[in-house]
Chain A
Amino acid sequence: MKGSFRNRGEWLNLAFILPYLLVFIAMILIPLIWGISLSFEKVDLFGGGRFVGLANYQRLFHDKIFLQTVSNTFYFAVLTVPALVVLGLFLAINLNKQTWLAASLRGIFFSSTILSVTVVTLIWRIVFIPNDGLMANIFAKLGFEPIAFLSNPDWSLIAVAIATVWWCLGLPMMLFIAALQQIPKDIYEAAALDNASRFTVFFKITVPSIMRTIVLVTIIEIVMQFQLFGQALLMTNGGPNNASRSIVMFIYDVGFRRWDMGLAAAASQILFAIILVAAMAQFFVASRSKGNS
């Protein structure tokens, strides 16, 4: 009798998660597996595929543009993820106050997050555009030679990164503020009585207390920033000379402009693997260093 009751309970539990499970299978699991199988086929947007083994992957590893988009995307992640974590934490610590000013500034810094990518890129094009742009004017006022941010291969990805950090900063800031508010006030008071300097308090009390959130924010941002698409497409269209082309842009071009779905699927799998490895690496490093301390 007892066994059957437990079984019934388990089936009931399954019934509760079933609606989401179906959506998950239909919208995530099947496309994922389908994508993996597509990456082994030669296929265009209409008509069936033909199994070609690892040929798509082989083509990718010999494709100079693809390899450049991979290195561009890594460079972009290196530019944005640490900046988002550090700036987000900096803002959170300074705005985690009960004052009217702090509350307003929190709202202002978060507001950029709700803008669509189109609006964000429009704003930053105005900042970076040569001749009449904000930066050009500032450089001119200071007597420097203006930099053509969007058309200089050394600067275009940096310009996209700056716009992205501005756009995405709200979420890390809010997550860090939420984490900071979970730290009991009395351990800061104990630290004050223990003669801890501001530096010591930050590195020995605050950072260890919010380590889980730092890891979470880093992983979220790695996953998001490796998928760079809209900003690069709208600000530089991947240019000049592919200097700001990202992996997702490459996938889009190959899949929906050249209709080479097999190749696009293979590139998608590589991106998926990169994100997975990067996020896992971050997670393991963080959990190991936590275990050691």
Chain B
Amino acid sequence: MSSAIEIRNLTKRYNDLTILDDISFSIDPSEFIVFLGPSGCGKSTLLRMIAGLESISDGEIWMDQDRLDVLPPGKRNVSMVFQNYALYPHMTVEDNMAFGLKNIKTEPAVIATRIKKAAEMLEMTHLLKRKPAELSGGQRQRVAIGRAIVREPKAFLFDEPLSNLDAALRGRTRIELAQLHQRVKATMIFVTHDQVEAMTLADRIVVLNNTKIEQIGTPIDIYQRPASKFVAGFVGTPAMNFIPVTALERSQGATTVHIDGMKPIKTHINYEHLPDPAGTFEIGVRAEDVDVVHESESEVSGTVSFVERLGERTLLYVKLVDGRMLIANTDGKSPITAQTKVHLRMNKAAIHLFDATGRAYHGEAQ
């Protein structure tokens, strides 16, 4: 039921506008892949090209041993869950699910069995005789997933399917999708701009930006070892702190960073891996890797200008002496209020360096 998909040198152009430029990667059987990126990065276009709903300008798509991009959408053996569900409004839930199977002349008994099984799995047996207009957003979502399941496709394609649900339902559906994936063991491709969805669902994330793939990796990889400044800034809430570097210095193989107004910071980044240590650099550090400490242990001090209490933790928006903002993290019960002076220390192992092209360098092995 699950298949490997390979994208080879895929390009999409609308007239002079390039949407995707020479994209290549492969998806393993049963893998849950998430395409993540900002609006307009081409992630939905890529999914629709796999589905056959969008023409391709260049390149090939393969599924197992078959070339996919030459086949019409119906012959590709993929099911898609659309952002607005795309249920047939005049058909009952049951007919919606049966439609694709009837079109390929499936035995009525087989159709009935599959619908029954899918309806039970999605707990929507009581909805089968209703029409889409009589369902809530979450129920329509289930029907859309059910319609995809009954076809027993080789791959499932999801085009931002959770974006129309409210926050609570989105969280629940996310978990259900993860469970569904474990149960049906099919290849799944999921498009989203929501990094939480990407982090929680994906086996691997493909981060797309500006016609190219920025990084492919596991959620932990993407989060802890972002390949570029774009990925570092796009993934994670709040966004990573970036601070321009004054100078870099070699110290026992590692790199010490000098920044105006701060004490030198000895990072774990191998100095030898930096192609041009004299160039322009920025450090990047996430809020959770910036702690409030006693003055003697700190690298930098500043005044808290805003306190964001998130419950289990508190974010401090600290204004440094030179006017720059640095977001720091402290525990949820912290008594710190705005206008308090605080001293901050960075977790040296979690500091990233970015060169002028946005390329990232991390601590330990590169």
A residues adjacent to B (C-beta < 8 A): 184, 186-187, 189-197, 200, 204-205, 208-209, 211, 293
* Residues of B with C-beta under 8 A to A209: 89-90
Within 8 A of A (CB), among B76-121: 76, 78-80, 82-84, 86-91, 99-100, 103-104
Cα A208 to Cα B100 in complex, Å, equals 17
Q: A208-B90, A293-B90 are in contact. Are A189 and B82 (CB under 8 A)?
A: yes
Closest to A188 in B: B86
| B264 contacts the other chain (CB 8 A) | no
Q: A194-B99, A197-B103, A200-B103 are in contact. Are A187 and B74 (CB under 8 A)?
A: no
Cα A120 to Cα B132 in complex, Å, equals 47
Q: Name B74's contact: one of A186, A193, A211 (CB within 8 Å).
A: A193
| B349 contacts the other chain (CB 8 A) | no
| B53 contacts the other chain (CB 8 A) | yes
Closest to A197 in B: B103
Q: A186-B82, A189-B53, A190-B82 are in contact. Are A195 and B88 (CB under 8 A)?
A: no
Tell me whether B84 and A193 are in contact (CB under 8 A): no
For the A-B complex, the count of residue pairs with Cβ-Cβ distances under 8 Å equals: 64
Cα A187 to Cα B82 in complex, Å, equals 9
Closest to A200 in B: B103
Q: A193-B78, A193-B79, A209-B90 are in contact. Are A184 and B84 (CB under 8 A)?
A: yes
Cα A197 to Cα B80 in complex, Å, equals 18
Q: Looking at the assembled complex, report how far the CB atom of A71 sits from the nearest CB atom of chain B, in whole angstroms.
A: 37
Q: Name B72's contact: one of A190, A192, A205 (CB within 8 Å).
A: A192
* Residues of B with C-beta under 8 A to A205: 88
Tell me whether A190 and B90 are in contact (CB under 8 A): no
Give per-residue flags for B62-83: 1 if the beta carbon is below 8 A from chain A beta carbons, else 0: 0000000000111110111011
| B161 contacts the other chain (CB 8 A) | no
Tell me whether A187 and B103 are in contact (CB under 8 A): no
| B49 contacts the other chain (CB 8 A) | no
Closest to A185 in B: B86
Q: A192-B74, A193-B74, A195-B74 are in contact. Are A187 and B86 (CB under 8 A)?
A: yes
Closest to A193 in B: B73
Cα A192 to Cα B99 in complex, Å, equals 11
26 A-B pairs within 8 Å (CB atoms) are namely: A184-B84, A184-B86, A186-B83, A187-B86, A187-B87, A187-B89, A189-B53, A189-B73, A189-B86, A190-B82, A190-B86, A190-B87, A190-B147, A191-B99, A192-B52, A192-B53, A193-B76, A193-B79, A193-B80, A195-B100, A195-B104, A196-B103, A204-B99, A205-B88, A208-B90, A209-B89
| B344 contacts the other chain (CB 8 A) | no
Cα A52 to Cα B163 in complex, Å, equals 73
Tell me whether A193 and B90 are in contact (CB under 8 A): no
B residues adjacent to A (C-beta < 8 A): 51-53, 72-76, 78-80, 82-84, 86-91, 99-100, 103-104, 147, 151
Cα A204 to Cα B82 in complex, Å, equals 19
Closest to A192 in B: B73
Tell me whether B89 and A194 are in contact (CB under 8 A): no
Cα A191 to Cα B80 in complex, Å, equals 11
Tell me whether B99 and A196 are in contact (CB under 8 A): yes
Closest to B99 in A: A194
Tell me whether B104 and A190 are in contact (CB under 8 A): no
Cα A186 to Cα B75 in complex, Å, equals 18
Cα A191 to Cα B79 in complex, Å, equals 11
Cα A186 to Cα B147 in complex, Å, equals 14
Q: Looking at the assembled complex, report how far the CB atom of A184 sits from the nearest CB atom of chain B, in whole angstroms.
A: 7
Q: Looking at the assembled complex, report how far the CB atom of B300 sits from the nearest CB atom of chain A, in whole angstroms.
A: 51
Q: Looking at the assembled complex, report how far the CB atom of A283 sits from the nearest CB atom of chain B, in whole angstroms.
A: 18
Cα A193 to Cα B100 in complex, Å, equals 8
Q: Name B80's contact: one of A190, A204, A208, A293 (CB within 8 Å).
A: A190
Known pairs A192-B73, A204-B99 / 20 extra A-B pairs, C-beta < 8 Å: A184-B84, A186-B84, A187-B86, A187-B89, A189-B53, A189-B80, A189-B82, A190-B82, A190-B147, A192-B53, A193-B53, A193-B76, A193-B80, A194-B74, A195-B103, A196-B74, A204-B91, A208-B90, A209-B89, A293-B90
* Residues of A with C-beta under 8 A to B76: 193
* Cβ-closest 3 pairs across A and B: A194-B100, A195-B74, A186-B86
Closest to B151 in A: A194
* Residues of A with C-beta under 8 A to B104: 195
Closest to B84 in A: A186
Cα A194 to Cα B150 in complex, Å, equals 11
Among A184, A190, A209, find the residue whose CB has the most chain B CB atoms closer than 10 A. A190
Cα A186 to Cα B83 in complex, Å, equals 9
* Residues of A with C-beta under 8 A to B100: 193-196
* Residues of A with C-beta under 8 A to B88: 187, 190-191, 204-205
Q: Looking at the assembled complex, report how far the CB atom of A285 sits from the nearest CB atom of chain B, in whole angstroms.
A: 17
